[in-house]
Structure 1
Amino acid sequence: MPDSLPRFPYKADRLKPLRAFCQVARLGSVSRAAEALFVSQPAVTLQLQALERELGEKLFERSGRRLVPTRAGEALYELARPLVDGIDTLPAAFRNEVKGMDAGELHIAANSSTILYLLPRIVERFRQHHPDVRLSLHNTVSADGTDLLRADTVDLVVGSMHDVPGDLSYAPLHRFEQRLVMPLGHPLADKPALSLADIGQHGLILPPKRQITWRLVDLVFQQNRVPYTVALEVGGWEVIKQYVAMGMGISILSSICLTDADRGRIATRSVGSFFPDRSYGVVMRKGKLPSPQARAFMDLIQPDLFMRRDYYDSGHSER
């Protein structure tokens, strides 16, 4: 190489600086990236500096306590992430392909409602077809699930997603209507012409604000400029249904959360004309190939698994 050309110590091995760059972009910190890579902070800093000198672009800027990619850094991240992920997961992917589905692990993140209502039949079928795969279900709220996904702690997230970040892909697989649930004998159960204002006059029992259901319910009332009152915030649809049955308020939930056990203790009716259907599907990281175990699990998520018997309807449908 001519003496006039610059020489950088990391240029011959682009994988190390690209791996360090991707970890800093994901974690927002040189120190956290160093911990994830089991190297020193100075080593990560040198790799980033060498990469910036080679490319002639500033790749990060500070936003508060976090390092965030610049415009050039975002472009490099989109290009480098699938390359780094492909190299890092190559040994495991190779072993899985060689072994097939006779062994391996599958980690899935989902919230408690999804684990309770949506996944049992899918998990049962997966266990029947692949008994030697170690399946782990991580009970999380949606935000925690995507964090686990980005950190490669889980293979995929199953649930509902409203706003999809740019680094993730969401494949909705089925939609469920929204239902109004009330105590037996509630005046709204048999009201012929139900309006959103009618619902807003009664105290609502909703999950915490950080969850999608609360945000969607709030959005509908705000868009229609209808006042409403939250009587109680509590996590878990089984708890919410129990409190509704006790007469402590009414609620709006996805039809997937209703079971035969609810018949005789609460009244329900469709509110699909006010509240949009909720989709449920699979969330994955863009650019990362699913493992054979993950592909096998996704193949089992078919709409016919979600078919339920007719919901009991105590009042007039607005659909």
Structure 2
Amino acid sequence: MAERSPAAPRFAYKASRLKPLRAFCQVARLGSVSRAAEALYLSQPAVTLQLQALERELGVRLLERTGRRLLPTREGEVLYALARPLVEGIDGLGASFHEQLRGLDAGELDIAAGSSTILYLLPGLVEAFRERHPDVRLRLHNVTGAGGLDLLRSDAVDFAVGSMLEVPADLDYAPVYNFEPMLIAPPGHPLADKPELRLQDLSPYGLILPPQRLTTYRLVDLVFQRNQVPYTVALEVGGWEVIKQYVAMGMGISIVTAICLTEADRARLAVRSLSAYFPSRSYGVVMRKGKYLSPQARAFVALIRPDLFAPRDHDQSGHSAR
């Protein structure tokens, strides 16, 4: 005699788990089948069937009458704690979805960045973002160093765009762009056409550098010290535009990152690569670990690095492909 296959389990009333869970949550909340039926626009017998189906499926009693109210049993309390966020999430899915869509075209976005990033890297990105999301109020916070980190850690900004040499443990840094270190000198300078440019060749000429508190100054000093090459700082001044102007006027030479050099600059200055001695500088997105990014923040980051929020590919074994 052929062995009978086990009967398929009978689940919720009319083959839906959501309906019995929704009915149970309403009864647990309101304490009455009749009030739950009114809230769900169902008949009382329909709600009763939903509850009976759920109790059959789980094999426990979920509700008990205390006076005129129906209250969850101990097992019912456990189920209510589990089911309520699920039911509310499903019931609110449509509204949440449309709210998220509206969030792409409205709201506020705060980005921290240094002067060079705001001046040279962000204009095209800001223009593209404004075209796509004209209703978002965008604020660029011009900060440097510790000031930007403070804004990130206090959630005063959504994220930062800039360069980081050392990444603190509480932050994530996703580099996107790389820029070479460049020597700039006035036209006709002895270093402009020197066939082989060595670090020692810069030693006789005064450097125009940003203030000592900034990363660029510290990096220049580190490279010269490691190579045991003396150097002289002729002038400290903030802002790449000022530095380029002073170099063009013949007040000294400078070491800059290629991010700040435009076609017009290359026409009025002598520009030479120093990649043999100085590291390239990366620029990218800096975020506080664990921070939730708003839809408008994610939209801006996607312009910089489209793959940052893309789901990873998985191989057939279920492991992420690297």
Which bin holds the TM-score, normalised by the shorter protein?
A: 0.5 to 0.7
Report the counterpart of residue 268 of structure 1 in structure 2.
271
Q: CA deviation at 1:179?
A: 0.7
Report the counterpart of residue 91 of structure 2 in structure 1.
none
Structure 1 Cα separation of the partners of residues 189 and 304 of structure 2: 36
Note the aligned Cα RMSD (angstroms).
1.8
Q: Measured at CA, do residues 122 and 98 of structure 1 come closer, stay the same or move farther in structure 2, by a change above 3 Å?
A: closer
Q: CA deviation at 1:98?
A: 5.7
Residues 1:292 and 2:295 aligned together: yes
Residue identity opposite 1:109 in structure 2: A
Residue identity opposite 1:146 in structure 2: L
Q: CA deviation at 1:163?
A: 1.4
Report the counterpart of residue 128 of structure 2 in structure 1.
125
Alignment deviations for residues 202-257 of structure 1 (CA, whole Å, 9 cap, x no partner): 11111111211111111111111111111111100000000001111111111110
Partner SS for 2:192: coil
Q: CA deviation at 1:191?
A: 0.8
Residues 1:197 and 2:206 aligned together: no
Residue identity opposite 2:301 in structure 1: M
Structure 1, gaps ≥5 residues long: 1-92, 304-319
Q: Percent identity?
A: 69
Structure 1 Cα separation of the partners of residues 115 and 245 of structure 2: 16
Residues 1:188 and 2:177 aligned together: no
Alignment deviations for residues 36-60 of structure 1 (CA, whole Å, 9 cap, x no partner): xxxxxxxxxxxxxxxxxxxxxxxxx
Q: CA deviation at 1:262?
A: 1.4
Asked whether the 8 Å contact 1:109–1:156 carries over to 2, the reply is: yes
Residue identity opposite 2:277 in structure 1: F
Report the counterpart of residue 283 of structure 1 in structure 2.
286
4+ residue segments displaced more than 6 Å: none
Query: Could you state the TM-score of these two structures normalised by the residue count of structure 2?
Result: 0.63
Structure 2 Cα separation of the partners of residues 229 and 238 of structure 1: 21
Residue identity opposite 2:269 in structure 1: I
Residue identity opposite 2:178 in structure 1: R
Report the counterpart of residue 256 of structure 2 in structure 1.
253
Q: How many residues align?
A: 211
Structure 2 Cα separation of the partners of residues 94 and 239 of structure 1: 48
Structure 2 Cα separation of the partners of residues 162 and 231 of structure 1: 26
- Out of 88, 108, 114, the position equivalent to 1:105 is 108
Structure 2 Cα separation of the partners of residues 135 and 157 of structure 1: 13
- Out of 281, 286, 301, the position equivalent to 2:304 is 301
Structure 2 Cα separation of the partners of residues 239 and 151 of structure 1: 32
Structure 2 Cα separation of the partners of residues 94 and 214 of structure 1: 48
Q: CA deviation at 1:96?
A: 5.8
Q: CA deviation at 1:201?
A: 2.2
Structure 2 Cα separation of the partners of residues 98 and 187 of structure 1: 59
Q: CA deviation at 1:95?
A: 9.1
Structure 2 Cα separation of the partners of residues 231 and 147 of structure 1: 32
Residues 1:151 and 2:154 aligned together: yes
Asked whether the 8 Å contact 2:105–2:296 carries over to 1, the reply is: no
Structure 2, gaps ≥5 residues long: 1-95, 307-322
Asked whether the 8 Å contact 1:161–1:212 carries over to 2, the reply is: no
Kindly name which structure, 1 or 2, has the bigger radius of gyration based on alpha carbons. Answer: 2
